[in-house]
């Protein structure tokens, strides 16, 4: 996904600007379209605001040998990869929105993989995630493929509102796949981002994530959907679950870091299908008990430290030292870490940086310390500051963010960009936005064009700044997304792995038309024995030795191998040519081969060698 993907974030990023509806009311396609256009333009403009200090990863193969490669035609951007027996299945991303569905690749000879067909090719949609499992129920026996269908074309009025959901195919004979059914789960937009499939004996189920449907879809159904596919010709939704309904979130954009949000991003069944692990972005990973599949219940969830950036993208379970662990992938495409807010006499607080202003980390000693100036109103004009001396000060301005109108907040007198410009014109060395909202966490919403750092904080933090009259804004070490390790029973973090090139260096961001050097966030992880294989975008495929996790306390995993593919031409203006972007990773149980999907260069088949092999 991007940020988590342009298509996903675009689902709601512009809603306040167009007058968002209260929860449970219908969303109009026009809003999705406005969101998409706004978010893409915003991401394109970010790169020029950060000094490019990283360099793109060079092709390499340490601990791996390349068995085979297929460029898959290069016509679209590749999504996730799944392998079942002698065939691989690779999804497609949302840009270009070509509706090409899931690619089917014959890998019976892994040294010569061959693209042999496509399934789920639906105009105006993407199919990023795909799962294939052998299923045996009273109604179906064979190899069942499930893929998530999302809307990516917001300009067409011809798309059926029920198009976006789960598509099911019989791929028992991959050379002649048979379409079984389509089940729409959202209306007008959105769709299924990720999913998993399990055979529980007489019953088979799909668990799917429909990000933000709880808040924005007319049905109001939760972000987690469970579908009975025992008879895949007649799939039936049997349950849904949402964090808002459970009282875990006041709104879809509540969370931490520069992209504060609460939504179900991905879901994975435990081996027996009685538990599911749902990566719920800033809420962490929520473990659900599915013993009664019609009534999912929360067991535990992983908990971030206050200084974290959130972004729980996906997870894989692992057993070590007599306990169950969760290897959690935090997909963070913005390397700026939440700034520390130091106010005399108050506990350290944390904020969120503007992604379109100069990075606070580039300031001398990575900090700005100054007296505080508060304008009379919102700082929308020079007159708001009166006779206050703003030169060399940190301007603290009130910023109203409202997503739902129950109860209403005052309408903003101007936008963030004007507030920032006025403060900078008067000589402020930084701008702090006092975010006043009942449903949204502090974060940038519109973008800016000033040359001073811009930070967003909670109202209580801003009030303390004003009372004390002085504040220090401190930028921690930058960090892209990395691997966190949690105790599955308690949700407590016990270890991490982030010791890779560029993970702790500022960069231009992942979506950049002006000199992006790559994206250095983790994405997905799979386990084979005591080895983990992670797709890490421009850092390639990363092999980790997990045996240190068996210690007391667990030690960080060790790097034992890395493969970085050659770059390739990009079919979308969102990515420059020639940058490795490894999205998916899959380990084939029969021979231990690692299959990796690169967004631009296609499918890579790798053989782990010592010490990267289990």
Question: Could you report the per-residue pLDDT of 52-69, keeping only the tens digit for each?
Answer: 333 345 789 999 999 999
Q: Are 581 and 598 in contact (CB under 8 A)?
A: yes
How far apart, in whole angstroms, are the C-alpha atoms of residue 9 and residue 261? Answer: 10
User: What integer pLDDT is reported at residue 160 of this predicted model?
Assistant: 87
CA–centroid distance for 213 within its chain: 16
Taking alpha carbons only, the member of 539, 443, 452, 450 closest to residue 497 is 539
By DSSP bridging, strand 285-289 and strand 275-279 are antiparallel
Which tens digit of pLDDT belongs to each residue from 303-322? 999 999 999 999 999 999 99
Q: Are 290 and 226 in contact (CB under 8 A)?
A: yes
The Cα angle at residue 143 between residues 142 and 147, in degrees rounded to 5:
140
How far apart, in whole angstroms, are the C-alpha atoms of residue 515 and residue 535? Answer: 23
Is the predicted pLDDT of residue 249 greater than 70, yes or no?
yes
User: What integer pLDDT is reported at residue 508 of this predicted model?
Assistant: 62
User: What integer pLDDT is reported at residue 201 of this predicted model?
Assistant: 93
How far apart, in whole angstroms, are the C-alpha atoms of residue 94 and residue 1? Answer: 10
Which tens digit of pLDDT belongs to each residue from 574-612? 888 899 999 999 999 999 999 999 999 999 999 999 999
Could you tell me the two tokens for 372?
Answer: 């505080």
Which tens digit of pLDDT belongs to each residue from 282-295? 999 999 999 999 99
User: What integer pLDDT is reported at residue 574 of this predicted model?
Assistant: 85
Taking alpha carbons only, the member of 289, 327, 335 closest to residue 507 is 335
| Phi, psi of 269, deg, nearest 5 | -75, 145
Which tens digit of pLDDT belongs to each residue from 399-439? 998 877 666 788 899 999 999 999 999 999 999 999 999 88
What's the distance, Cα to Cα, between the start and end of the chain in Å? Answer: 29
SS3 at position 42: helix
Is the predicted pLDDT of residue 143 greater than 50, yes or no?
yes
HEC assignment per residue over 1-37: CCCCCHHHHHCCCCHHHHCCCCCCCCCCHHHHHHHHH
User: What integer pLDDT is reported at residue 515 of this predicted model?
Assistant: 52
Q: Are 241 and 222 in contact (CB under 8 A)?
A: yes
Which tens digit of pLDDT belongs to each residue from 495-535? 999 999 999 988 766 655 345 678 999 999 999 999 999 99
**Of the candidate ranges 155-159, 186-190, 481-485, 496-500, the one whose mean pLDDT is the lowest:** 155-159
Q: Are 259 and 269 in contact (CB under 8 A)?
A: no
Task: Go through 387-412 and write b for each residue having 16 or more CB atoms within 10 A of its CB, e for each that does not.
Answer: eeebeebbbbbbbbbbbbeeeeeeeb
Sign of CA dihedral 573, 578, 582, 587: positive
User: What integer pLDDT is reported at residue 531 of this predicted model?
Assistant: 99
SS3 at position 207: strand
User: What integer pLDDT is reported at residue 32 of this predicted model?
Assistant: 38
Ranges of beta strands (E only) in 438-593 are: 454-458, 470-474, 483-487, 493-497, 524-528, 531-535, 541-545, 558-564, 582-587
The mean pLDDT of 453-459, rounded to a whole number, is 98
The mean pLDDT of 324-332, rounded to a whole number, is 98
How far apart, in whole angstroms, are the C-alpha atoms of residue 546 and residue 331? Answer: 20
Torsion from C-alpha of 576, 80, 169, 110, nearest 10 degrees: 100
To which CATH superfamily is domain 49-335+478-608 assigned? YVTN repeat-like/Quinoprotein amine dehydrogenase (2.130.10.10)
What band does 157 get if pLDDT is binned at 50, 70 and 90?
Answer: confident
Q: CA of 324: how far to CAs of 269, 300, 321, 494, 549, in Å?
A: 15, 13, 8, 11, 11
Could you tell me the two tokens for 217?
Answer: 């879809």
Is the predicted pLDDT of residue 4 greater than 70, yes or no?
no
The mean pLDDT of 95-113, rounded to a whole number, is 97
Beta-carbon contacts of 591 under 8 Å, excluding residues fewer than 6 positions away, are none
Share of the chain above pLDDT 70, in %: 89
User: What integer pLDDT is reported at residue 146 of this predicted model?
Assistant: 99
User: What integer pLDDT is reported at residue 154 of this predicted model?
Assistant: 87
Torsion from C-alpha of 167, 168, 173, 178, nearest 10 degrees: -80
Beta-carbon contacts of 560 under 8 Å, excluding residues fewer than 6 positions away, are 63, 531, 543, 544, 545, 611, 612
- Residue with token string 């007649």: 234
Mean pLDDT of the chain: 90
Taking alpha carbons only, the member of 127, 49, 80 closest to residue 361 is 49
Which tens digit of pLDDT belongs to each residue from 553-574? 999 999 999 999 999 999 998 8
Could you tell me the two tokens for 412?
Answer: 């903003």
Is the predicted pLDDT of residue 10 greater than 90, yes or no?
no
More confident residue, 98 or 515: 98
CATH architecture of 340-474: 3-Layer(bba) Sandwich (3.50)
SS3 content of the chain, % helix, strand, coil (to 5): 10, 35, 55
HEC assignment per residue over 74-123: CCCCEEEEEEECCEEEEEECCCCCCCCCEEEEECCCCCCCEEEEEECCCC
User: What integer pLDDT is reported at residue 156 of this predicted model?
Assistant: 84
| Phi, psi of 429, deg, nearest 5 | -90, -10
The Cα angle at residue 94 between residues 92 and 97, in degrees rounded to 5:
100
Is the predicted pLDDT of residue 1 greater than 70, yes or no?
no
The Cα angle at residue 330 between residues 81 and 133, in degrees rounded to 5:
30
The Cα angle at residue 531 between residues 529 and 535, in degrees rounded to 5:
125
Q: Are 54 and 502 in contact (CB under 8 A)?
A: yes
Q: For the residues of 45-57, what is the DSSP string, one character each?
A: TSGGGS-----PP
SS3 at position 402: coil
- Residue with token string 């969101």: 35
How far apart, in whole angstroms, are the C-alpha atoms of residue 209 and residue 239? Answer: 12
How far apart, in whole angstroms, are the C-alpha atoms of residue 543 and residue 245? Answer: 39
The mean pLDDT of 77-97, rounded to a whole number, is 98
Which tens digit of pLDDT belongs to each residue from 471-495? 999 999 999 999 999 999 999 999 9
Is the predicted pLDDT of residue 390 greater than 70, yes or no?
yes
């Amino acid at each position: 996904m991007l940020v988590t993907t342009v298509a996903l974030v675009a689902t709601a990023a512009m809603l306040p600007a167009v007058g968002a509806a209260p929860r449970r009311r219908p969303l109009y396609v026009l809003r999705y379209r406005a969101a998409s256009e706004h978010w893409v333009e915003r991401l394109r403009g970010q790169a020029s605001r950060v000094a490019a200090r990283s360099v793109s990863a060079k092709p390499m193969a340490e601990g791996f040998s390349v068995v085979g490669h297929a460029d898959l035609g290069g016509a679209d951007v590749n999504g996730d990869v799944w392998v079942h027996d002698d065939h691989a299945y690779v999804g497609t991303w949302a840009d270009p929105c070509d509706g090409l569905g899931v690619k089917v690749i014959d890998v019976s000879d892994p040294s010569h993989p061959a693209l042999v067909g496509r399934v789920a090719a639906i105009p105006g949609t993407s199919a990023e995630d795909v799962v294939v499992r052998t299923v045996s129920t009273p109604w179906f026996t064979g190899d069942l493929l499930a893929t998530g269908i999302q809307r990516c074309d917001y300009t067409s009025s011809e798309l059926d509102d029920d198009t976006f959901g789960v598509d099911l195919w019989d791929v028992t004979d991959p050379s002649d796949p048979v379409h079984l059914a389509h089940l729409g789960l959202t209306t007008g937009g959105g769709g299924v981002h990720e999913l998993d499939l399990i055979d529980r004996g007489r019953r088979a189920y799909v668990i799917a994530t429909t990000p933000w449907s709880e808040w924005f879809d007319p049905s109001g159904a939760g972000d987690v959907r469970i579908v009975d596919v025992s008879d895949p010709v007649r799939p039936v939704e049997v349950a849904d679950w949402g964090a808002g309904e459970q009282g875990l979130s006041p709104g879809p954009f509540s969370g931490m870091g520069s992209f504060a949000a609460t939504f179900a991003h991905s879901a994975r069944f435990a081996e027996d299908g009685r538990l599911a692990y749902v990566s719920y972005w800033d809420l962490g990973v929520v473990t659900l008990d599915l013993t009664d599949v019609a009534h999912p219940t929360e067991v535990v969830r992983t908990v971030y430290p206050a200084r974290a950036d959130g972004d729980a993208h996906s997870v894989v379970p692992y057993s070590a030292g007599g306990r169950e662990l969760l290897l959690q992938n935090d997909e963070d495409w913005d390397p700026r870490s939440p700034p520390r807010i130091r106010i005399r006499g108050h506990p350290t607080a944390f904020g969120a940086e503007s992604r379109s202003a100069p990075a606070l980390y580039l300031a001398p000693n990575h900090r700005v310390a100054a007296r505080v100036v508060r304008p009379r109103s919102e700082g929308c004009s020079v007159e708001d500051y009166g006779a206050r001396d703003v030169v060399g000060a940190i301007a603290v301005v009130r910023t109203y963010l409202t997503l739902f109108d129950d109860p209403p907040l005052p309408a903003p007198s101007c936008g963030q960009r004007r507030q920032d410009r006025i403060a900078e014109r008067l000589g402020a060395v930084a701008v702090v936005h006092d975010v006043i909202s009942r449903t949204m966490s502090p974060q940038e919403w519109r973008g800016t064009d000033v040359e001073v750092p811009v930070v967003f904080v909670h109202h209580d933090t801003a009030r303390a700044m004003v009372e004390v009259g002085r504040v220090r804004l401190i930028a921690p070490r930058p960090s892209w997304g990395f691997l966190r390790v949690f105790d599955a029973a308690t949700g407590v973090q016990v270890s991490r792995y982030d010791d890779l090139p560029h993970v702790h260096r500022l960069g231009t961001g992942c979506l950049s038309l002006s000199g992006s050097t790559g994206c250095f966030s983790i994405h997905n992880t799979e386990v084979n024995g005591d080895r983990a294989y992670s797709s890490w975008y421009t850092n390639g495929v990363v092999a980790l030795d997990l045996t240190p996790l068996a210690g007391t306390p667990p030690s960080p995993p060790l790097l034992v191998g890395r493969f970085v593919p050659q770059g390739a031409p990009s079919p979308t203006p969102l990515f420059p040519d020639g940058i490795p972007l490894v999205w998916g990773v899959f380990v084939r149980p029969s021979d231990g081969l690692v299959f990796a999907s690169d967004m631009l260069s296609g499918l890579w088949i790798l053989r782990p060698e010592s010490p990267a092999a289990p």
